[in-house]
């Protein structure tokens, strides 16, 4: 359940960017398909971690980015929904292009 | 709860006279530090030093804040929602601390190994064997991570290693701050090998950089040959994949070749090793791999 520790980091980072008396109404995260983080688990932790912070009551939006890799053998692009796989040409020599994102994109404050 | 002063008054949400939304109806006026103590039961002294970004509504004198709260009918300038672009890594703080540790290790000539694997995979047994076989070349010092008890630290100490135990309580992994906090007590000497035994877990520790120079994942034959595919994040991020307890191979249904093929599928670059810490198989190759990675390149005795 590393999502709990990760959510705590999110709440801490966002709180630190709040001005005095500001309240966070929305947080937008970008989570890659290959980031080893389960969005539903983050949502589950978010409300609990936000309590008593400027994020209390904030809406959590999660943008999921697909896992995309380039094949080292044929140069083709491969869509990955798990952290390993094969290209259509048979090669498993894959360079990941996206899917490992674990970022706080933006926050809305009032 | 009041986002400004932290007091937990009840009542409906209402707009504050000086421009922040409140769950209750008290006022923030110049004299309110004292007033809070009496009327709102605040447990600790605090002041309300409103910083930048907190606009008190132009054209409104602060002293107007005396009196009953106003209705939120009039929009207050500066209260519009604003979007702040952050574009920040979620684990930035941990990564920053890990880099600090990495710099410290490099400056001191210490090689740090993040040793991961399931509970019971044989991580501690491998450390014990490593200490005995290395014979001080290099000196092996250890950070032990477990949720509870110092049993592993006692084992390492009995094997002749200096050790600091970290108990994470409910925590399922070590993080960079925990490792940094253990360093002053451990004081790893230049040229030493610091083994950081992570909390037994094939999932969570994969995400947290500890400042290590290399990562090894230990998986025992008793766990089954499908583990690299079942827990790909852990195996993918390892520099070495160590199959342990190979002395038990005759007694368990485990396809060694299939295990290594699956490990390769998930991680084409990792060094693949196999050991029996109790019988000694493969320990030489394991030590060679460690010595290759050490900054000062300790040659075998």
* C-alpha span between A3 and A9 (Å, rounded): 10
Partners of residue A93 in chain B, C-beta under 8 Å: 268
Distance from CA of B19 to the nearest CA of A (A): 9
Distance from CA of A39 to the nearest CA of B (A): 13
What residues in chain B have their Cβ under 8 A from chain A's Cβ atoms? 1, 3-4, 19-21, 48-54, 79-94, 171-173, 175, 203-204, 206-208, 229, 232-233, 236, 265-266, 268
Mean pLDDT confidence for A56-83: 96
Residue in A with minimal Cα distance to B237: A83
> Pairing state of beta strands B14-15 and B21-22?
antiparallel
Read off the tokens for B46. 């605090």
Read off the tokens for B79. 């209260």
Which of B89, B92, B173 is nearest residue A2 as measured by Cβ atoms? Answer: B173
Indicate the burial class of B149 (C-beta count within 10 angstroms; 0-12, 13-18, 19 or more). exposed
CB contact under 8 A, B81 and A25: yes
- Interchain CB contact of A25 with B (< 8 Å): yes
Which of B91, B172, B206 is nearest residue A102 as measured by Cβ atoms? Answer: B91
Which of B4, B84, B207 is nearest residue A109 as measured by Cβ atoms? Answer: B84
Residue in A with minimal Cα distance to B50: A20
CB contact under 8 A, A2 and B172: yes
Report the pLDDT value the prediction gives residue B14, as an integer from 0 to 100: 31
* C-alpha span between B256 and B155 (Å, rounded): 29
**Spacing of C-alpha B117 from chain mean position:** 15
Which bin fits B147, alpha (ψ -120 to 50), beta or left (φ > 0)? alpha
Element (H, E) at B94: helix B92-108
What tens-digit pLDDT sequence spans chain B (301 residues)?
333 333 333 333 333 333 333 434 333 333 333 333 333 434 344 444 343 334 333 333 333 333 344 333 344 455 789 999 999 999 999 999 999 999 999 999 999 999 999 999 999 999 999 999 999 999 999 999 999 999 999 999 999 999 999 999 989 999 999 999 999 999 999 999 999 999 999 999 999 999 999 999 999 999 999 999 999 999 999 999 999 999 999 999 999 999 999 999 999 999 999 999 999 999 999 999 999 988 765 454 4
Report the pLDDT value the prediction gives residue A93, as an integer from 0 to 100: 86
* C-alpha span between B191 and B82 (Å, rounded): 52
Pair B149, B168: CB distance under 8 Å = no
CB contact under 8 A, B93 and A12: yes
Distance from CA of A1 to the nearest CA of B (A): 7
Mean pLDDT confidence for A25-45: 96
Report the pLDDT value the prediction gives residue B102, as an integer from 0 to 100: 97
Report the pLDDT value the prediction gives residue B296, as an integer from 0 to 100: 61
Report the pLDDT value the prediction gives residue B132, as an integer from 0 to 100: 97
Partners of residue B261 in chain A, C-beta under 8 Å: none
Task: Name the pTM for this structure.
Answer: 0.78
Distance from CA of B93 to the nearest CA of A (A): 8
């Amino acid at each position: 359940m590393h999502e709990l520790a990760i959510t705590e980091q999110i709440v801490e980072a966002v709180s630190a960017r709040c001005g005095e008396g500001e309240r966070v109404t929305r947080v937008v995260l970008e989570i890659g398909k290959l980031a080893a983080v389960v969005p539903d688990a983050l949502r589950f932790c978010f409300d609990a971690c936000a309590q008593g912070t400027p994020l209390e009551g904030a809406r959590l939006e999660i943008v999921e980015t697909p896992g995309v890799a380039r094949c080292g053998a044929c140069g083709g692009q491969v869509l990955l929904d798990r952290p390993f796989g094969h290209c259509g040409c048979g090669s498993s020599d894959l360079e990941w292009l996206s899917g490992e994102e674990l970022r706080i994109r933006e926050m809305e404050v009032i | 709860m009041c986002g400004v002063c932290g007091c937990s008054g009840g009542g409906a949400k209402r707009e504050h006279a000086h421009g922040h939304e409140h769950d209750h109806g008290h006022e923030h006026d110049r004299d309110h530090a004292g007033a809070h103590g009496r009327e709102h039961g605040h447990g600790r002294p605090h002041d309300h030093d409103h910083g930048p970004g907190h606009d008190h509504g132009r054209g409104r004198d602060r002293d107007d804040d005396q009196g009953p709260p106003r209705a939120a009918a009039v929009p207050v300038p500066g209260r519009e929602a604003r979007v702040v672009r952050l574009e920040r890594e979620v684990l930035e703080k941990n990564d920053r601390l890990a880099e600090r540790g990495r710099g410290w290790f490099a400056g001191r000539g210490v090689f740090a190994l993040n040793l991961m694997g399931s509970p019971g995979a044989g991580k501690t047994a491998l450390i014990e064997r490593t200490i005995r076989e290395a014979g001080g070349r290099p000196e092996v010092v250890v950070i032990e991570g477990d949720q509870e008890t110092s049993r592993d630290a006692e084992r390492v100490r009995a094997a002749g290693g200096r050790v600091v135990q970290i108990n994470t309580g409910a925590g399922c992994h070590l993080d960079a701050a925990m490792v940094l906090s253990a360093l002053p007590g451990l004081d790893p000497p230049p040229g030493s090998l610091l083994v950081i035994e992570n909390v037994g877990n094939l999932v969570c520790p994969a995400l947290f950089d500890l400042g290590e120079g290399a990562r090894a994942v230990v998986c025992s034959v008793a766990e089954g040959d499908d583990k690299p595919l079942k827990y790909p994040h852990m195996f993918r991020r390892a520099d070495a994949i160590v199959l342990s307890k190979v002395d038990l191979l005759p007694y368990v249904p485990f396809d060694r070749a299939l295990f290594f093929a699956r490990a390769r599928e998930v991680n084409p670059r990792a060094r693949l090793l196999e050991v029996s810490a109790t019988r000694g198989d493969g320990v030489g190759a394991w030590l060679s791999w460690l010595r290759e990675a050490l900054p000062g390149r300790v040659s075998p005795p």
